[in-house]
Structure 1
């Protein structure tokens, strides 16, 4: 049986989602801005790349996880609307956020501490909702944080966490190799580097690195190639500049503690 060709701009999926433009891509998927012709709204369609083991062995499990993810609701979570995880192509339909990523904003320079504090509260609150539902994000990084335009003139953007739980879906339904590490090397927690199962403290660690990067404009672990670079964080905590002040240094030091049990919960970060 031959797989269907990869969708292109101009194609319509399920007689409903008309692909308008490709707006992003990664190793696992391509993301399109699309028109939902049934409801007359703009959506984001993440088309999973072919060549990764499919979900034929666990369709019920995949559907149950999609149901869980679609039930999560928070202003700082990108909402999952629909999913097609059997047959070809496989894709997810999500809320479209017409704004830049946090990574592109950081590329312009460090963010003001007050703005980072607001982002921290929004993202930690979103993680709390995710964790309370038994989901671990697994890939918290600046490029997965979208900055939605403010509703009021002069307002600041709201942080929206994208791809929450999508790594969980991909890992459980598609990637069946034991010990597969899901996540981006620069933001992996020490226990993930050691091959441990992802848990909420790993998301808190990654959020700590994201906030540190937003405050300084630089990655805490810029060199991520090779086993040695990854193992270095097992013994070397990130450098947190004293110039950030005692409140930030205290919070970020606890969030990025090497031992997961020493980190605060996402809710504690909000508080």
Structure 2
């Protein structure tokens, strides 16, 4: 059977083992359900793919990618059914918590919490990049939050959804020049349709962390054309309210030239320092920022307040 957007498989048993319950999310490639593994008696997340000739290679690629990665900040793949019999699905670790996108609807996060999220996600990206993979869609909706069970910690973060991931130097699964990703978090090079590199994920993560700190999206253009023009003509505004050290890290991560951005491990180091240091926002409205390991330095007069931006529907 082909799975259109309107189908709801809640209540169905897949593979004589996985009971599907509530729908957790939906995207262009399929629907994710909360499920229950009746054999191992644990909750799972089940991604049921929509079928189409152009998606077969991609769903198989996603399975191989997930199976090859192992890190506490990456969602673990448990099982896969990608044979001729439909529906085709993946069974993954269920994270009992909100997405970062859902959490941010209540407002910005405290700096120590953002530093924890930054360290978790940058470590995950380091593992991903070491495997020769570019995620290509780092955004709040793809960040899952889980209570860490440690006193004084609000949650830890996990990176999910490798549905549009790209293998560096591998055969493309998309047409050259195609823009892939979510408009609000695209890097400048992504909007031109060139082959993505790990530095593109660093840029997107910088935008995610900036939004987590301020509660405002740096690029709120809803249309792809508007997003392209904005990304090629301006840098994200890093307000002084985030503090000098956070400003230095975020400015480097969102440098327009990919060569000027830090590596994932440099971001991990910076985030760990920020967790251990008490930072205060400077009173001056002008700052020069930089980060070790990156040549990015930007001087700008930054506003202390900007308008609240509308949420993304894509």
Scaled by the length of structure 1, what TM-score is found? 0.89
Q: Deviations over 1:128-170 (max 9, x none)?
A: 011111111111000111110222455321111111x332279
SS of the equivalent of 1:234 reads helix
Q: Is 1:142 aligned to residue 140 of structure 2? A: yes
Could you tell me how far apart the structure 2 residues matched to 1:52 and 1:209 are? 34
Could you tell me how far apart the structure 1 residues matched to 2:249 and 2:166 are? 31
Q: Is the 8 A contact 1:54 1:174 kept in 2?
A: no
Relative to structure 1, the CA distance from residue 146 to residue 253 in structure 2 (aligned partners, 3 Å threshold; closer, same or farther) is same
Per the TM alignment, residue 200 of structure 1 is displaced from its structure 2 partner at its CA by 0.6
Aligned ranges 1:15-94 → 2 under 5 Å: 15-51=16-52, 53-55=54-56, 58=57, 62=60, 66-87=63-84, 88-94=86-92
Q: Is the 8 A contact 1:82 1:93 kept in 2?
A: yes
Could you tell me how far apart the structure 2 residues matched to 1:4 and 1:268 are? 42
Per the TM alignment, residue 122 of structure 1 is displaced from its structure 2 partner at its CA by 0.9
Relative to structure 1, the CA distance from residue 3 to residue 224 in structure 2 (aligned partners, 3 Å threshold; closer, same or farther) is closer
Number of residue pairs the alignment of both structures matches:
264
Aligned ranges 1:1-271 → 2 under 5 Å: 3=2, 8-51=9-52, 53-55=54-56, 58=57, 62=60, 66-87=63-84, 88-152=86-150, 154-163=152-161, 165-168=162-165, 176-271=174-269
Could you tell me how far apart the structure 2 residues matched to 1:27 and 1:263 are? 30
Q: Kindly name which structure, 1 or 2, has the bigger radius of gyration based on alpha carbons.
A: 2
Q: Relative CO higher for 1 or 2, CA cutoff 8 Å, sep ≥ 6? A: 1
Gaps of 5+ in 2: 270-314
Gaps of 5+ in 1: none
RMSD: 2.5
Q: Is the 8 A contact 2:218 2:236 kept in 1?
A: yes
